[in-house]
Structure 1
Amino acid sequence: MHSDAPKVILVERVSFPLKSAKFARSISWERQGMRFQTCRKLLPVAVLSAILVGCADLSAIREFADSSIATAQYTGLVEDYVNEPLREERYQPVRYHPTLEAMATARKQEEAALLARLAIVESYMKALGNLSADETPSFDAELDALQGKIVKAKFVDEAEASSAAVVVKLVLRAAADGWRQAELKEFIEEGNEPFQTIVNGLRDIVSDGFSIASLNERQAAETYYGTLQKSTADPAAKAAVGEWGVYRVAEIDARAASIKSYAAVLERISDGHQKLYDHRDDFPNPDLLRQMKEYSEYIKSIIKKLNIDVGVG
């Protein structure tokens, strides 16, 4: 838990000369034509119909990217973390309220950086999925807004602030220059280190900060309802307080389970991308693609459980 306001590290807006989407599309069509001619010399006529969508079937990587994108929707976990001190107020004596309110203010200052991390993971994985499918990452409102998000974000860690700018610049460059599957290796090479910094930083905050906050809330709730039960001799009142306490603690436990699951998903995203980086010179290795399929299936299974726990979908 953070009792002091975080150190503010400002991130300058990414200064990158963006080409128009029309220009990017023209480049991509030109590259597609060149790629088609190259593949035509290497492959039999029977498979030329597959060339228009790329020389390699990397659908397992696309599936891994798509499943990872889904993790960005759980902004409610960030909101729960930010508001935990205010929920805890109901269980704590009035003399502790100023401290809890100060904690809530400090966490509110962290919120923009936490949401920016989610947006960065989403945009990067969208681009990874596009490239693996031999598609050019597109300019869209979310990608344009991402620059503003990292400017407003107050990253406590300077390495994360720098990594955020690098990842966004890379995604913008891939979109502006009409990158396709041929540039996938370059994208992964340049993106792995800063992407790992962002994902692992987010995972650490979730597994440590979010989890500790949830534990504190649970302990406060148990103490509060336990004290209330002891304060009355009325059996009916004692039972009612006990039931209400069980309900509140169950709510907290459900949030704690979601936090644990989300941290596990982030770890798999990190491991999966590292696997791509380690084997970037070996596309499309069947064993690698099988492992990427396993990563995506695991992520989807956890997301399905998360959707039930947090009421998404």
Structure 2
Amino acid sequence: MKRIRSGNRYLLLILGLALVLNSCVNLRSVNSYSLKSTESLKKFEEISYSFAEHCLDRCQFESVQDFSIKRTAECDCKLYEDADKAATTIYKRLRGYFEALSALTNNELTDYSLDALKEPLTAGGFGSIEIEAADVNAASHIATILLRATTDLYRKNKTKTYVAEANADIQILLKKFNEITRSNLSGLLDFKKERLFSYYRELLVDTSLSTYEKAQAGREYYQELSAIDTQQRQIEAFARSVDRIAKGHQELYENRNKMTAKEFKELIRGYTGDLRNIISEFNALKR
């Protein structure tokens, strides 16, 4: 009888250990997703264009056309600088959230810098972007969640609570971030292409220019157009990664009580693979 009881204890111990190991393995898939999401978001820092840069480009272009050359460009770009600041604030909130998620799923304390949380998101229109009250509230709530994460209020077995509390706000911020990059920033590059087209077309019909000068102008135009196309392809790749992060996190939220299921592991692994491929695509455009 004692042997049977002893055998049962060993069996229960083995089953318990198997459950723990299975849980760790499946949380590892969430950890991989959050790490790859963080890596994808960091590509924002590598996008070779900004709202303030657009403002300076336009201002300097207009000065040259007017033959107005000064020691310093007199460009009022405050609204565009504020647009960059708003985009950066959203980026830092999102990056911090996924960094904390990767730490939690690896059973580590988060070491997120609280300095970034001091930068508030303000509602209003900044150049071509519009920050709404819902965006401000979402950024504020994520900041609160990050503070909890750094003070050890989310620990073992708290990953699903962390995800559940954050999902609605993460979706709002990811949607806004996508809009800022794919619509607003890329839209400014469309404007730049139209401006260059008009400028170089005028040069090509200018009878005072020689054939050689017109050919040179044509080459310059296509070089600039190619550079802009590359920038827009970078932005589009980045925006697609934001899409996949959002959909992956929604799946994470909807399946938060099934994180140890094999089916969930396969599901979240698909999003991680998509992000890996998009990162490679983005990097190839920098060469």
Query: Structure 2 length normalisation: TM-score?
Result: 0.82
For residues 10 and 173 of structure 2, the distance between their equivalents in structure 1, rounded to whole angstroms, comes to 41
- Whether the 8 Å contact between 1:136 and 1:178 is mirrored in structure 2 is no
Is 1:300 matched with 2:269? no
Using the TM superposition, give the Cα deviation of residue 196 of structure 1 relative to its aligned residue in structure 2, in angstroms.
1.0
Structure 2 residue identity aligned to 1:124: Y
Letter in structure 2 aligned against 1:154: T
For 1:44 and 1:188, how far apart are their aligned partners in 2?
A: 30
Aligned to 2:134: 159
Supply the AA of the counterpart residue of 1:161: V
SS of aligned partner of 2:110:
coil
Q: CA 1:41 to 1:187, structure 2 compared with 1: closer, same or farther past 3 Å?
A: farther
The answer on 1:125 being equivalent to 2:114 is no
Are the structure 2 counterparts of residues 55 and 61 from structure 1 closer, same or farther at C-alpha, using a change threshold of 3 Å? closer
| Displacement after TM superposition at 1:310 (Å) | 3.7
Structure 1 residue 86: deviation in Å? 1.9
The gaps in structure 1 that reach 5 residues or longer are 1-39
Change (3 A) 1:169 1:276: same
Q: Distance in 2 between matches of 1:221 and 1:178?
A: 54
Separation of aligned partners in 1, 2:239 and 2:28: 25
The alignment's C-alpha RMSD in Å is 2.8
Q: Using the alignment, how far apart are the partners of 1:54 and 1:282 within structure 2?
A: 10
Confirm or deny that 1:74 pairs with 2:38.
Answer: no
CA contact (8 A) 1:207 1:259 kept: yes
Give the Cα separation in 2 of the matches to 1:62 and 1:56: 10
SS of residue in 1 equivalent to 2:157: helix
Matched residues, number: 263
Q: 1:180 corresponds to which residue?
A: 155
Cα drift, residue 114 of structure 1: 0.7
Which has the greater radius of gyration? 2
Q: Is the 8 A contact 2:43 2:238 kept in 1?
A: no
Whole-Å Cα distance in 1 between the matches of residues 147 and 164 of structure 2? 16
Matches of 1:250 and 1:242 in 2, distance apart?
A: 12
Query: 2-side partners of 1:119 and 1:213: how far apart?
Result: 23
Partner residue of 1:215 out of 190, 197, 216: 190
Q: What does 1:77-226 align with in structure 2 at a 5 Å threshold?
A: 77=47, 79-92=49-62, 93-94=65-66, 101-102=75-76, 104-133=77-106, 135-140=107-112, 142=113, 144-149=114-119, 151=120, 153-155=121-123, 156-226=131-201
Report the CA distance between 1:190 and its aligned residue.
0.2
Q: CA deviation at 1:52?
A: 8.4
In percent, how many aligned pairs have the same letter?
Answer: 19
1:94/1:296 Cα in 2 relative to 1: closer, same or farther (>3 Å)?
A: farther
- What is the one-letter code of the residue matched to 2:88? L
Tell me what 1:57 maps to.
Answer: 26
CA contact (8 A) 1:66 1:129 kept: yes
What is the aligned partner in structure 1 of residue 128 from structure 2? Answer: none
CA, structure 1 residues 238+48, in 2 after alignment: closer, same or farther (shift >3 Å)? Answer: same
| CA displacement, residues 96-134 of structure 1 (integer Å, 9 cap, x when unaligned) | xxxx944x321111222211111111111111112223x
Q: Which residue of 1 aligns with 2:243?
A: 267
SS at 1:277 equivalent: helix
Q: Does the 8 Å contact 2:26/2:259 carry over to 1?
A: no
Alignment TM-score, normalising by the size of structure 1: 0.75
> Gaps spanning 5+ residues in structure 2: where?
1-8, 68-73, 124-130
Structure 2 distance, partners of 1:52, 1:213, is 50
